[in-house]
């Protein structure tokens, strides 16, 4: 794609021999990318790194390394990290300069990232070879890295065994009423199965949703983020057995605490933190509640634990307050991270995630059983495909673990992550010996197409075929509608999503198509501020489209500020025209790269004639 970038002729990158001349624009891109990477905003960081990559840095190991890290952290696009990380290994150094654009080499730990990329894409033999390469190169200089590499080699070996003996489980998508075209995750269900709460990724924040079952179907979910008074920083942990108490974590950059909201008179209350026996100055990441509401299993990295994140238990005292926490034993907690504990309604099974134990890579889901003496059994890995070679963290058991709710990224889903109900074969709960297959059929699904299937086909021979007339080419009309923004705002609205989803469908259908997003503003404010605001609008659209699994390398953005009005800002008498300014607060689109352009008509939606901006104005 021919890059459209706001650079003067003097600032275009030149190549002298093998060295790159770096201008201020590239420095700005790099500074932004490093900031976004540090903040774990991988889509934003990736866009800026790719801008640098496409300006003569294709062979730069450092930029390839950074791009690979970004892709490795974007769900649904992790496999794209592999070629960039492979390229980065061609030029490595033990004297890597962090956050320096002039650095052309990659550090040794690129082999750890490449090993992880091979592992999560199930290229296990390549992963083992790559981790081994790191061990050879690092020598004794990085004991922690060597230990990590050895753990991952072990995980890959374990994974091969589990993948050869998959667990027998049926998965059922909860359907389009619950699952949207974005990520839907952290689903919890009341004991009677009639209350469902879960998280949904929305533009700029993650929302808490609530649904109730009526006549066997889930009701239209309600966004209760405002009811619990969350700023988009609260995440579901568990719901009480009767469905009236919701446990959440409230997170910021420095701390995470456990909160609770109560359902009364048809509304959820403002969430409140639990007491200081649960919440500390450290990170409390999750809590699971027992059926009777008197025992809380939660995770924390407070002092006195076994390793990093550990699982603790607290009981309610006679006054209904949470008592001092007790660390679970070594059968459960390890030197690495444990997280997301859930206790079954009978209190006899605890499900949790761990980076240790008999692990396939990343986090895996494990189960321990309460013994007659009250101690927990050795953990049992839940097996493949419940566990994968990537992170598997939130597994919500229901009906004593006969059923579970999870979020899965699948090709047949409605969005990035969908909520699924997993049903195990009765009497065959996962253990170390089960070796069956997963099925993808929904429960009670009716067979479609039975009438057509019943028609007997009669053979037709070549000489009986009629001569077909050449069909008229199908012409596709594409309306490139802009998306509009509120004043001084860059948020993607529900109305914007409808427009963008149509654009995404087109980009999915025509994989060669490339997109230019141009951000604009009205005439209020300084030119400098409006230029930045228009870039924020273009980036917001970019982030949404990439979130629908469109490759970011197919997209460019451009900021025009107040330089290209579509409509008037003022009336002929000089008074303000808010209706016209509304049409200027926009992001608009251009399509290129389509092979069969003659059959595709790209049509832009015009501004009403009475509001249209004319250059002489």
Min mean pLDDT across 226-230, 376-380, 443-447 is at 443-447
CATH 2.120.10.30, the chain: domain bounds? 169-439
Q: What is the mean pLDDT of residues 424-441?
A: 44
Cβ atoms 297, 285 nearer than 8 A: no
Length in residues, the chain: 617
Q: What is the mean pLDDT of residues 368-381?
A: 93
- Rounded distance, CA 469 to CA 206, Å? 54
Question: Does position 456 have pLDDT exceeding 80, yes or no?
Answer: no
Which pLDDT belongs to residue 12? 35
Angle formed by the axes of helices 61-72 and 110-120, nearest 10°: 40
Residue 135: how many CB atoms within 10 A of its CB? 17
Cβ atoms 291, 347 nearer than 8 A: yes
Residue 352: how many CB atoms within 10 A of its CB? 28
Q: What is the mean pLDDT of residues 375-396?
A: 94
Which pLDDT belongs to residue 520? 94
Question: Does position 80 have pLDDT exceeding 70, yes or no?
Answer: yes
Which pLDDT belongs to residue 499? 83
Q: List all residues 6 or more positions away from 157 whose beta carbon is below 8 Å from its beta carbon.
A: 128
For residue 72, give the 3-state DSSP assignment: helix
**Nearest of 374, 375, 377 to residue 366 by alpha carbon:** 377
Phi and psi angles of residue 464, each rounded to the nearest 5 degrees, phi first: -95, -10
Q: What is the mean pLDDT of residues 426-449?
A: 39
Cβ atoms 370, 349 nearer than 8 A: yes
Q: Give the residue, 409 or 340, on which the prediction is more confident.
A: 340
**Nearest of 166, 92, 89, 87 to residue 122 by alpha carbon:** 166
CATH 3.30.70.270 fits 476-611, yes or no: no
Q: Give the residue, 71 or 477, on which the prediction is more confident.
A: 71
Q: List all residues 6 or more positions away from 506 whose beta carbon is below 8 Å from its beta carbon.
A: 478, 513, 591
Question: Does position 461 have pLDDT exceeding 50, yes or no?
Answer: no
Interval 88-102: pLDDT, tens? 999 999 999 988 999
CA distances from 305 to 92, 301, 312, 419, 552 (A): 37, 7, 9, 33, 42
Q: Give the residue, 146 or 189, on which the prediction is more confident.
A: 189
Phi and psi angles of residue 40, each rounded to the nearest 5 degrees, phi first: 60, 30
For residue 356, give the 3-state DSSP assignment: coil
Does residue 277 have a cis bond before it (omega within 30 degrees)? no
- Rounded distance, CA 107 to CA 90, Å? 11
Q: What is the mean pLDDT of residues 498-510?
A: 85
Q: Give the residue, 84 or 487, on which the prediction is more confident.
A: 84
Which pLDDT belongs to residue 599? 59
Three-state SS letters, 509-528: HCCCCEEEEEECCCCCCCHH
Min mean pLDDT across 34-43, 389-398, 417-426, 436-445 is at 436-445
Angle formed by the axes of helices 42-53 and 527-547, nearest 10°: 100
Query: Which two three-digit tokens encode residue 179?
Result: 């699952």
Question: Does position 473 have pLDDT exceeding 60, yes or no?
Answer: no
pLDDT band at 469 (very low <50, low <70, confident <90, very high): very low
CATH 3.30.1330.60, the chain: domain bounds? 476-611
R_g over Cα of the chain: 28
pLDDT band at 573 (very low <50, low <70, confident <90, very high): confident
Q: CA dihedral in degrees (420, 425, 428, 433; nearest 10)?
A: -70
- Rounded distance, CA 296 to CA 312, Å? 8
Interval 120-129: pLDDT, tens? 999 999 999 9
- Rounded distance, CA 107 to CA 531, Å? 36
pLDDT band at 438 (very low <50, low <70, confident <90, very high): very low
Which pLDDT belongs to residue 463? 36
List the alpha helices (DSSP H) in 19-78: 24-38, 42-53, 61-72
C-beta pairs of 502-505 under 8 Å, 24+ apart in sequence: 503/545, 503/589, 504/545, 504/548, 504/550
For residue 608, give the 3-state DSSP assignment: coil
pLDDT band at 2 (very low <50, low <70, confident <90, very high): very low
Greatest CA span in the chain, whole angstroms? 90
Q: What is the mean pLDDT of residues 238-243?
A: 98
**Nearest of 284, 311, 309 to residue 297 by alpha carbon:** 311
- Rounded distance, CA 166 to CA 384, Å? 5
Residue 207: how many CB atoms within 10 A of its CB? 18
For residue 203, give the 3-state DSSP assignment: coil
CATH 1.25.40.10, the chain: domain bounds? 9-164
Which pLDDT belongs to residue 203? 79
CATH for the stretch 169-439: 2.120.10.30
Question: Does position 278 have pLDDT exceeding 90, yes or no?
Answer: yes
- Rounded distance, CA 495 to CA 52, Å? 33
Question: Does position 248 have pLDDT exceeding 80, yes or no?
Answer: yes
Interval 312-365: pLDDT, tens? 999 999 999 999 999 998 889 999 999 999 999 999 999 999 998 999 999 999
Q: List all residues 6 or more positions away from 435 whose beta carbon is below 8 Å from its beta carbon.
A: 164, 165, 166, 167
Interval 251-262: pLDDT, tens? 887 889 999 999
**Nearest of 517, 455, 523, 522 to residue 492 by alpha carbon:** 517
Cβ atoms 13, 21 nearer than 8 A: yes
Query: Which two three-digit tokens encode residue 82?
Result: 């592999």
Q: Give the residue, 331 or 65, on which the prediction is more confident.
A: 65
Interval 128-138: pLDDT, tens? 999 999 999 98
Question: Does position 31 have pLDDT exceeding 50, yes or no?
Answer: yes
Look-up: residue for tokens 């009986």? 464
Regarding pTM above 0.85, the answer is: no
Min mean pLDDT across 445-454, 497-506, 516-525 is at 445-454
For the chain, give the percent of residues with pLDDT over 70: 85
- Rounded distance, CA 395 to CA 382, Å? 10
Which pLDDT belongs to residue 601? 64
pLDDT band at 462 (very low <50, low <70, confident <90, very high): very low
pLDDT band at 595 (very low <50, low <70, confident <90, very high): low
Question: Does position 18 have pLDDT exceeding 50, yes or no?
Answer: no
**Cα dihedral sign for 354, 358, 364, 367?**
negative
Per CATH, the architecture of 9-164 is what? Alpha Horseshoe (1.25)
Question: Does position 16 have pLDDT exceeding 50, yes or no?
Answer: no
Question: Does position 600 have pLDDT exceeding 80, yes or no?
Answer: no
pLDDT band at 265 (very low <50, low <70, confident <90, very high): very high
Phi and psi angles of residue 224, each rounded to the nearest 5 degrees, phi first: -105, 15
């Amino acid at each position: 794609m021919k890059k459209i970038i706001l650079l003067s002729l003097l600032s275009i990158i030149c190549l002298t021999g093998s060295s790159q001349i770096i201008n201020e624009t590239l420095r700005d891109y790099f500074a932004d990318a490093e900031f976004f990477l540090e903040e774990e905003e991988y889509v934003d960081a990736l866009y800026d790194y790719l801008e640098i990559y496409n300006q003569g840095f294709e062979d730069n190991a450092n930029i390839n390394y950074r791009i690979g890290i970004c892709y490795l952290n974007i769900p649904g696009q992790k496999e794209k990290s592999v070629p960039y990380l492979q390229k980065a290994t061609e030029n490595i150094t033990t004297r890597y300069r962090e956050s320096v654009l002039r650095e052309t080499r990659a550090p040794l730990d690129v082999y750890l990232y490449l090993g992880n990329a091979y592992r999560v894409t199930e290229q296990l033999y390549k992963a083992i070879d790559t981790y081994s390469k790191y061990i050879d190169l690092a020598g004794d200089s990085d004991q922690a890295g060597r230990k990590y590499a050895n753990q991952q080699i072990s995980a890959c070996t374990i994974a091969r065994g589990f993948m050869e003996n998959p667990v027998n489980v049926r998965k059922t998508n909860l359907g389009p009423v619950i699952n949207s075209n974005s990520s839907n995750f952290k689903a919890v269900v009341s004991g009677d199965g009639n209350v469902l709460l879960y998280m949904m990724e929305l533009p700029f924040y993650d929302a808490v949703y609530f649904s109730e079952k009526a006549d066997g179907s889930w009701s239209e979910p309600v966004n209760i983020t405002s009811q619990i008074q969350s700023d988009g920083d609260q995440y579901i942990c568990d719901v009480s057995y009767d469905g009236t108490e919701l446990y959440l974590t409230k997170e910021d950059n420095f701390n995470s605490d456990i909160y609770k909201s109560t359902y009364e008179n048809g509304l959820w209350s403002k969430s409140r933190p639990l007491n200081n026996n649960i919440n500390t100055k450290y990170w409390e990441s999750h809590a699971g509640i027992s059926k009777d509401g008197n025992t809380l299993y939660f995770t924390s990295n407070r002092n006195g634990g076994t390793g990093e994140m550990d699982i603790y238990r607290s009981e309610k005292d006679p006054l209904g307050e949470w008592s001092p926490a007790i660390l679970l034993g070594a059968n459960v907690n390890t030197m690495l991270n444990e997280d997301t504990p859930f206790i079954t309604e009978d209190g006899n099974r605890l499900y949790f995630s761990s980076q240790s134990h008999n692990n396939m890579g990343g986090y895996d889901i494990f189960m321990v059983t309460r013994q007659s003496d009250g101690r927990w059994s050795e953990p049992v890995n839940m097996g493949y495909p419940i566990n994968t070679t990537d992170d598997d963290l939130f597994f919500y058991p229901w009906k004593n673990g006969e059923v579970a709710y999870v979020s899965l990224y699948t090709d047949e889903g409605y969005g990035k992550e969908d909520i699924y109900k997993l049903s195990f074969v009765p009497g065959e709960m996962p253990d170390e010996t089960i070796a069956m297959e997963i099925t993808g059929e929904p429960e009670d699904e009716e067979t479609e197409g039975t009438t057509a299937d019943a028609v007997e086909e009669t053979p037709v021979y070549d000489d009986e075929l009629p001569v077909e007339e050449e069909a008229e080419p199908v012409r596709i009309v594409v309306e490139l509608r802009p998306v509009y923004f509120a004043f001084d705002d860059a948020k993607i609205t529900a109305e914007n999503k409808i427009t963008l989803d149509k654009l995404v469908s087109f980009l999915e259908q025509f994989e060669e198509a490339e997109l230019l997003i141009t951000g604009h503003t009205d005439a209020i404010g300084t030119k400098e501020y409006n230029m930045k605001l228009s870039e924020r609008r273009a980036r917001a659209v970019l982030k949404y489209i990439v979130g629908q699994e469109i490759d970011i390398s197919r997209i460019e953005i451009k900021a025009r500020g107040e330089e290209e009005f579509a409509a008037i800002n003022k009336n002929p008498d000089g008074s303000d025209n808010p209706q016209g300014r509304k049409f200027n607060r926009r992001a608009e689109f251009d399509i290129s790269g389509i092979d069969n352009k003659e059959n595709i008509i790209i049509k832009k939606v015009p501004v009403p004639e009475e509001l249209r901006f004319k250059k002489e104005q």
